[in-house]
């Protein structure tokens, strides 16, 4: 059912953790919009020594403040989204800023078809002329590839996607198995599997302030990220698009990352998966595939 434009209430589900300076810049951008969102929910996963400052900023900029579950990025995205009261939920990150007409443009796009998921691109703040490209969808390597049809794809813009509220009302959730990693690839595939159309629009974009982070030299975090990447592949192969080919590719990439050192975008180091990581990700993949299957069966 098409929602008249005056009935579209766009909530911003903004996640943050331990970055008050970045959050303040982000909130200034939100409150400089030519059209204000219905509400901004700040879901705060910060440590205790940062939380009071984050809460003060949220109140200063007239946002809804809520403490996050502190179980990782995607648990926080779920919490933020479920706290929102609008008809549509726009994902947001604390290291983004936005053109002044960002909300205005998004509303124009959403009004054209309120019953689909809309994804928008980003530009790094130091690359003002970069092309506005569709985000990638899942590739058999566990990394991303350009969708063949951006108007009907499985891609997700992690910090700039608009979801009809019904998605969460139906019980669909971001996968929370890992605290961080490319779980958005599963989210896009899950939405597609349950009949939601995902479309890319370059009507507007977010500015991404790529922050220098020590984690790019953290071997354990890289291993965790590689493990999460393989988890995504196996859940995809065991349930989302069950096939022998997908399973074979997953096994081949698992062997590659077990025998040879590998890295991920942004990291300055390499690592390989260990036996304990392999056993853990396989166990988690089988449990997740079973849970997804049961959800679908009894839906």
The number of folded domains in the chain is 2
Same domain, yes or no, for 12 and 30? Answer: yes
Range of the domain at 100: 5-208
Same domain, yes or no, for 167 and 31? Answer: yes
Same domain, yes or no, for 169 and 224? Answer: no
Same domain, yes or no, for 87 and 167? Answer: yes
Same domain, yes or no, for 50 and 166? Answer: yes
| Domain final residue pick, 208, 238, 269 | 208
Same domain, yes or no, for 197 and 245? Answer: no
| Domain final residue pick, 162, 177, 208 | 208
| Domain final residue pick, 156, 174, 208 | 208
- Residue 186: CATH number of its domain: 3.90.550.10
pLDDT tens-place values along the chain, 299 residues long: 344 456 899 999 999 999 999 999 999 999 999 999 999 999 999 999 999 999 999 999 999 999 999 999 999 999 999 999 999 999 999 999 999 999 999 999 999 999 999 999 999 988 999 999 999 999 988 889 999 999 999 999 999 999 999 999 999 999 999 999 999 999 999 999 999 999 999 999 999 997 666 778 899 999 999 999 999 999 999 999 989 999 999 999 999 999 999 999 889 999 999 999 999 999 999 999 888 777 665 55
Same domain, yes or no, for 120 and 243? Answer: no
- DSSP per-residue codes, the chain: -PPPGGG--EEEEEEE-S-HHHHHHHHHHHTT-SS--SEEEEEE---TTTHHHHHHHHHHTT-EEEE--SS-HHHHHHHHHHH--SSEEEEEETTEE--TTHHHHHHHHHHH-TTSEEE--EEETT-TT----PPPEE-TTSSEE--S-TTSB----TTSEEEETHHHHTT-----SSSSSSTHHHHHHHHHHTT--EEE--S--EEE-----GGGG-HHHHHHHHHHHHHHHHHIIIIIT--HHHHHHHHHHHHHHHHS-B--TT-SS-B---HHHHHHHHHHHHHHHHHHHHHHHH-
The structure's pTM equals 0.93
Same domain, yes or no, for 253 and 276? Answer: yes
């Amino acid at each position: 059912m098409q929602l008249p434009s005056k009935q579209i209430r766009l909530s911003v589900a903004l996640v943050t953790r331990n970055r008050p300076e970045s959050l303040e810049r982000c909130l200034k951008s939100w409150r400089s919009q030519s059209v204000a969102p219905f509400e901004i929910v700040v879901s705060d996963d910060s440590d205790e020594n940062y939380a009071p400052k984050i809460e003060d900023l949220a109140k200063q900029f007239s946002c809804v403040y809520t403490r996050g579950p502190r179980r990782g990025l995607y648990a926080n995205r779920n919490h933020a989204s479920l706290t929102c009261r609008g008809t549509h939920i726009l994902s947001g990150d604390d290291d983004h800023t936005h053109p002044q007409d960002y909300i205005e443009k998004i509303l124009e796009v959403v009004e054209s078809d309120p019953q689909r998921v809309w994804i928008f691109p980003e530009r790094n703040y130091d690359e003002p002329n970069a092309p506005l490209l569709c985000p990638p969808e899942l590739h058999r390597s566990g990394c991303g590839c350009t969708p063949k049809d951006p108007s009907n794809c499985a891609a997700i813009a992690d910090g700039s996607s608009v979801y009809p509220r019904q998605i969460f009302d139906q019980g669909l959730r971001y996968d929370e198995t890992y605290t961080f990693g490319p779980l958005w690839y599963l989210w896009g595939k899950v939405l597609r599997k349950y009949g939601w159309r995902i479309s890319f629009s370059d009507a507007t974009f977010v500015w991404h302030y790529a922050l220098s982070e020590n984690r790019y030299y953290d071997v354990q975090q890289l291993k965790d990220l590689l493990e999460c990447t393989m988890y995504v592949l196996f859940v995809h192969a065991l349930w989302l698009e069950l096939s022998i080919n997908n399973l074979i590719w997953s096994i081949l990439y698992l062997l590659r990352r077990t025998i040879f050192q590998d890295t991920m975008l942004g990291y300055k180091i390499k690592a390989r998966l260990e036996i304990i990581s392999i056993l853990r990700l396989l166990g988690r993949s089988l449990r997740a595939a079973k849970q997804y299957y049961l959800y679908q069966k009894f839906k």
